[in-house]
A and B are shown apart, each in its own frame.
Chain A
């Protein structure tokens, strides 16, 4: 079983819609959870992090964490073509090392 699992996609959404990305993880002791965005040919950039159960909102992005279900999600509201990228879920079971999922590719069609 992979440590961090994501649907590979591609996830295609119309402009202005909500994109919903899901991630599950295997280590119940995980403490920190991150979403990175990676444009084609570029390095990952951090867009959200969450440590506590519940929702965390930042602009058009909302991260949701449910530790009991070992599930973390990312919602992108009012999706724009510039949101087209691969989104990587990352989990920290320890204090230093992130384990990454393989990523979900999102395409926002105008």
Chain B
């Protein structure tokens, strides 16, 4: 697609429920990233995919968080047993990952605003 597409744009869920957030990156971008941004805070790295593999999961806050990517394209971030502190905007980004040439910068999707009540 022309840009990074995320769905849903807004999600309100009850504490303890599971949620799935979807990201469809720019066609041809091999690298995909999930970040989250809490109100008034900076961007917090969650996970990085290169193709379908996730070489860096170091930012996932707990084992309630997981992510997968299939076909080198769409990625799903799943949060199990949601807690109120999970409320944030979850941003997906993609890039060409030119190893050795430096990073060309990410293109972000419009984000999913998650509210846990």
Interface residues of chain A, those whose CB is within 8 Å of chain B, are: 31-32, 34, 42-46, 49, 51, 88, 92, 95-103
Contact = CB atoms under 8 A, between A and B. Distances in A.
Interface of B: 31, 33, 35, 41-43, 45, 48, 50, 56, 91, 97, 99-100, 102-111
Contacts of B35: 100
Question: Residue among A43, A45, A102 with the most chain B CB within 10 A?
Answer: A43
Contact of A88 (B31, B42, B48, B110): B42
Given A43-B110, A96-B50, 7 more contacts: A42-B110, A43-B111, A46-B105, A46-B107, A88-B43, A96-B31, A98-B33
B42 A100 contact: yes
A44 B102 CA distance: 20
A97 B108 CA distance: 14
A46 to B, nearest CB: 5
A96 B45 contact: no
Contacts of B31: 96
Contacts of B43: 44, 88, 100
Contact of A96 (B42, B48, B110): B48
Contacts of A51: 102
A43 B91 contact: yes
A88 B42 CA distance: 8
A102 B33 CA distance: 18
Contact of B104 (A44, A49, A99, A100): A49
